[in-house]
């Protein structure tokens, strides 16, 4: 999928704004990004998201956000932002020995 953050710049003329759709599956805990659609406003976006992205019983909750409101990290910064985590394993919570009484987290 193309970088959606850039599409907000193509809102010209009569085009409806672009919205990103997030769907939470029935048994799930978080909303996952499902795709995008065009709609005139938030109410329409929710209805269309239900029609386009939940027709195969994908979920039980829908969020829509204007694509223009999403700020994404710059792919050119990927190395500086994310590579340093590779060798910082001490930041993971796996070095504590839990007493048996609480050892099923």
Q: How many residues bind another protein (CB under 8 A)?
A: 13
What is the footprint of another protein within residues 65-104 (CB under 8 A)? none
CB nearer to another protein: give 60 or 73.
60
Interacting residues with another protein between 25 and 54 (CB under 8 A)? 37-40, 43-44, 47-48, 50-52
Closest approach of another protein to the CB of residue 18, in Å: 11
Angle at 79 between CA 75 and CA 84, to 5 degrees: 140
Helix (H) or strand (E) holding 53: helix 42-53
> Is residue 62 at the binding interface for another protein, with CB under 8 A as the rule?
no
Integer Rg of the chain from CA: 19
Measured CA distances, 43 to 11, 19, 32, 38 (Å): 19, 11, 20, 12
Binding residues (CB under 8 A) for another protein: these are: 16, 37-40, 43-44, 47-48, 50-52, 55
């Amino acid at each position: 999928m193309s970088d959606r953050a850039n599409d907000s710049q193509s809102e010209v003329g009569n085009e409806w704004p672009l919205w990103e759709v997030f769907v939470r599956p029935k048994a799930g805990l978080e909303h996952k990004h499902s795709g995008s659609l065009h709609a005139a406003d938030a109410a329409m976006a929710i209805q269309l998201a239900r029609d386009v992205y939940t027709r195969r019983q994908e979920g039980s909750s829908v969020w829509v956000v204007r694509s223009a409101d999403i700020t994404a990290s710059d792919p050119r910064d990927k190395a500086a932002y994310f590579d340093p985590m590779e060798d910082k394993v001490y930041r993971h919570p796996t070095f504590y020995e839990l007493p048996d009484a609480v050892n099923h987290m």
